[in-house]
Structure 1
Amino acid sequence: MPLHPEIAKIVATIPAPPPGPIDPAMLRAGEESMVAPLGERLSLHSVEDAMAGDVPVRIYSASEASAGVLVYFHGGAFFLGSLETHDHVARALAKETGLTVVAVGYRRAPEAAFPAGLDDCYSVVRWAAENLVAVGGILAIAGDSSGGTFVATVAGIAHDDGFERITHQVLFYPSLDLDFDTERYPSLTENAVGYGLETAGLTPFNAFYIESGADPADPRVSPIKRADLTGLPQALIITAEFDPLRDEGELYAERLREAGVDVTLTRYAGANHGFVQNFSWIPEYYRAFEQTAEFLAKP
Structure 2
Amino acid sequence: MAFIDQIDPELRPYLNSLPAIDLEALDMQAIAKIARAKPVAMPLVPHPDIAIRDDRLASSGARLRVFMPRSAAGNIPAFVYFHGGGFFTGSLEANDSLCQSFALAHGCAVVAVDYRKAPEDPYPAGFDDCYEALVWATNNGLFEAGAVAIGGISAGAAMAAGVALRARDEGGPKISGQILAIPGIDYRFQTASSRMEVDKRIWHLSLARKAWAAYLRDVVGQVPAYASPSIATDFSNLPPALITAEGEDILRDEAIEFAQNLMRAGIAVDLRVFAGAYHGSFAYEPEAEVSKAHLAAINSALERFLAVEA
Q: TM-score, normalised by structure 1?
A: 0.88
Report 1:1-299 matches (<5 A). 2-14=6-18, 15-18=20-23, 19-22=25-28, 23-24=30-31, 26-31=33-38, 33-39=39-45, 44-53=49-58, 54-65=61-72, 67-131=76-140, 134=144, 137-180=146-189, 184-193=190-199, 196-213=202-219, 217-298=223-304, 299=308
User: Offset of 1:192 from its aligned partner?
Assistant: 3.9
User: Offset of 1:232 from its aligned partner?
Assistant: 0.3
Q: Given the superposition, is the C-alpha separation of residues 38 and 144 from structure 1 closer, same or farther in structure 2, using an over 3 Å criterion?
A: closer
Q: Given the superposition, is the C-alpha separation of residues 44 and 281 from structure 1 closer, same or farther in structure 2, using an over 3 Å criterion?
A: farther
Q: Given the superposition, is the C-alpha separation of residues 80 and 29 from structure 1 closer, same or farther in structure 2, using an over 3 Å criterion?
A: closer
Q: How far, CA to CA, are the matches of 2:159 and 2:182 in structure 1? A: 12
Q: Given the superposition, is the C-alpha separation of residues 149 and 29 from structure 1 closer, same or farther in structure 2, using an over 3 Å criterion?
A: closer
Give % identity: 30
Q: Given the superposition, is the C-alpha separation of residues 257 and 79 from structure 1 closer, same or farther in structure 2, using an over 3 Å criterion?
A: same
Q: Secondary structure at the match of 1:177?
A: coil
> What is the one-letter code of the residue matched to 1:187?
S
Q: Given the superposition, is the C-alpha separation of residues 2 and 93 from structure 1 closer, same or farther in structure 2, using an over 3 Å criterion?
A: farther
Q: How far, CA to CA, are the matches of 1:111 and 1:42 in structure 2? A: 35
Deviations, residues 247-267 of structure 1 (Å, cap 9, x unaligned): 000110010010011101111
Q: Given the superposition, is the C-alpha separation of residues 212 and 8 from structure 1 closer, same or farther in structure 2, using an over 3 Å criterion?
A: farther
1:178–1:216 Cα contact (<8 Å) kept: no
1:179–1:216 Cα contact (<8 Å) kept: no
Q: Secondary structure at the match of 2:22?
A: coil
User: Offset of 1:88 from its aligned partner?
Assistant: 2.4
Q: How far, CA to CA, are the matches of 1:268 and 1:97 in structure 2? A: 24
Q: How far, CA to CA, are the matches of 1:172 and 1:43 in structure 2? A: 28
1:49–1:57 Cα contact (<8 Å) kept: yes
Q: Given the superposition, is the C-alpha separation of residues 214 and 187 from structure 1 closer, same or farther in structure 2, using an over 3 Å criterion?
A: farther
> What is the one-letter code of the residue matched to 1:151?
A
Q: Secondary structure at the match of 2:78?
A: strand
Query: Which segment drifts farther, 48-57 or 148-157?
Result: 48-57
Task: Let me know the Cα RMSD of the aligned residues.
Answer: 2.4
Q: How far, CA to CA, are the matches of 1:288 and 1:64 in structure 2? A: 29
Equivalent pairs counted in the alignment come to 293
1:44–1:91 Cα contact (<8 Å) kept: no
Q: Given the superposition, is the C-alpha separation of residues 194 and 203 from structure 1 closer, same or farther in structure 2, using an over 3 Å criterion?
A: closer
User: Offset of 1:16 from its aligned partner?
Assistant: 3.1
Give unmatched runs, 5+ long, in structure 2.
Answer: none
Q: How far, CA to CA, are the matches of 2:83 and 2:13 in structure 1? A: 25
Deviations, residues 123-182 of structure 1 (Å, cap 9, x unaligned): 0100101126647x21000111111111110000000011251111000100110112xx
Deviations, residues 185-208 of structure 1 (Å, cap 9, x unaligned): 121233544682222321123332
